[in-house]
Amino acid sequence: MKVLVTGAEGFIGSQIVEGLHGAGHDVTAYVLYNSFGTAGWLDHHGFPVGEDFRVILGDVRDSDSLQSAMAGHDVVIHLAALIAIPYSYQAPRSYIETNVIGTMNVMEAARRAGVARVVHTSTSEVYGTAQYVPIDEKHPLVGQSPYSASKIGADQVAHSYWSSFGVPVTTVRPFNTYGPRQSQRAFIPSVIVQLLSGAESISLGSLSPTRDLTFVADTAEGFRAVAEGTGGLGEVFNMGSGFEISMGEVVEMLSEISGRKVAVTEDPARVRPENSEVERLWSDSSKIETAFGWKPAHAGRDGLYRGLEKTYAWFRDNSNEAGYDAKRYVV
């Protein structure tokens, strides 16, 4: 297949690109324009730009750029988005412009290009704090942050293009992905970077919320399975490990893996507003297993431990990459 991936330079996108290319697909990476001409983590990919792999700099807010890039592709995987929840409190309009309007531009370009499949990326944050567990795709959507509200809007735009124009859209809703290359703004990298610094005390946000943590290699494999699959058009599919754990327990696991016991200080800057914190997430991913045969290789407590070991080892060996710095709080 000829596959266009938006947001291809990021933590998840770059690993999806590698998986697709490794499986023999022709891949175009659509990367946010910057004046340095860089392609994020794809600059570390290890395979050359050529006939079956290319990088296009653009912006999903620019419909003309998207239309030109999408021409001739069979499948589009749309990941481009602003995702940092704390920054969405500071700049909510930018989240609407990128996540909602950007998604509309992707869908309209796909409509005009006549692509065979669009895989749209949602997020577990659209559910808000779980009203029941495990969370299936019928769970109500609750926007508890400007970020989650923008993603709810994006999901509805994507579905409307299926309902109104027949654009072949499938929405994938990953639960919290972790692993190599993740930004320091996320919880697990923040813990690891501080542990690696040798600090006696580390600063974190709230430790009581629970999450369903999915290793990035499993997430990337899930996207590939949906891109290569059939069916599921106009539908939403959760993608999680099916295991719930508190952030405090994650810190304990990482302390054990690192061999370091440290004190934890709650940093008020890292704590969400009370009504905005999502207290509980736990996925029911049976639907995607039935439809596309996807199951996480890193499932349950043992699987999470293995994934955290791999993540810690990567950060230990790549701590100088992408500006990781234990002294900074990255929003």
Q: What's the domain range around 19?
A: 2-177+214-239
Residues 70 and 192 in one domain: no
Query: What is the rounded distance in angstroms from the CA atom of residue 192 to the CA atom of residue 209?
Result: 19
Residues 111 and 252 in one domain: no
Residues 187 and 133 in one domain: no
Domain assignment of residue 171, yes or no = yes
Residues 106 and 234 in one domain: yes
Q: How many domains does the chain have?
A: 2
DSSP secondary structure of 53-114? EEEEEE-TT-HHHHHHHHTT-SEEEE------HHHHHH-HHHHIIIIIIHHHHHHHHHHHHT
Q: What is the mean pLDDT of residues 145-171?
A: 98
Which is more confidently placed, 330 or 29?
A: 29
Domain assignment of residue 138, yes or no = yes
Domain assignment of residue 293, yes or no = no
Query: What is the rounded distance in angstroms from the CA atom of residue 172 to the CA atom of residue 241?
Result: 14
Q: What is the mean pLDDT of residues 310-317?
A: 96
For the chain, what is the mean pLDDT?
A: 96
Domain boundary among 222, 239, 256: 239
Domain assignment of residue 261, yes or no = yes
Q: Other C-beta atoms within 10 Å of 228: how many?
A: 15
Category of 187 on φ-ψ map: left (φ > 0), alpha (ψ -120 to 50) or beta: alpha
Q: What is the mean pLDDT of residues 299-324?
A: 91
Residues 202 and 136 in one domain: no
Query: What is the rounded distance in angstroms from the CA atom of residue 226 to the CA atom of residue 224?
Result: 5
* pLDDT tens, position by position, 136-152: 999 999 999 999 999 99
* pLDDT tens, position by position, 204-217: 999 999 999 999 99
Residues 75 and 164 in one domain: yes
187 contacts 79 by C-beta, under 8 angstroms:
no
Residue 277: how many CA atoms within 13 Å on its side-chain side? 15
Domain assignment of residue 307, yes or no = yes
Residues 12 and 147 in one domain: yes
Residues 188 and 304 in one domain: yes
Q: Which CATH number do you get for residue 152?
A: 3.40.50.720
Q: How confident is the model at residue 44 (pLDDT cuts 50, 70, 90)?
A: confident
Residues 135 and 266 in one domain: no
Residues 231 and 259 in one domain: no
Residues 159 and 13 in one domain: yes
Domain assignment of residue 269, yes or no = yes
**C-alpha closest to that of 172 among 215, 131, 225:** 225
99 contacts 150 by C-beta, under 8 angstroms:
yes
In 166-320, which ranges are continuous DSSP H helix?
Answer: 187-196, 216-228, 247-258, 286-292, 300-317
> Which is it for strands 75-78 and 2-6: parallel, antiparallel or unpaired?
parallel
Domain assignment of residue 330, yes or no = no
Residues 125 and 10 in one domain: yes
Q: Is the pLDDT of residue 294 over 90?
A: yes
Q: Is the pLDDT of residue 220 over 70?
A: yes
Domain assignment of residue 287, yes or no = no
Q: Which CATH number do you get for residue 261?
A: 3.90.25.10
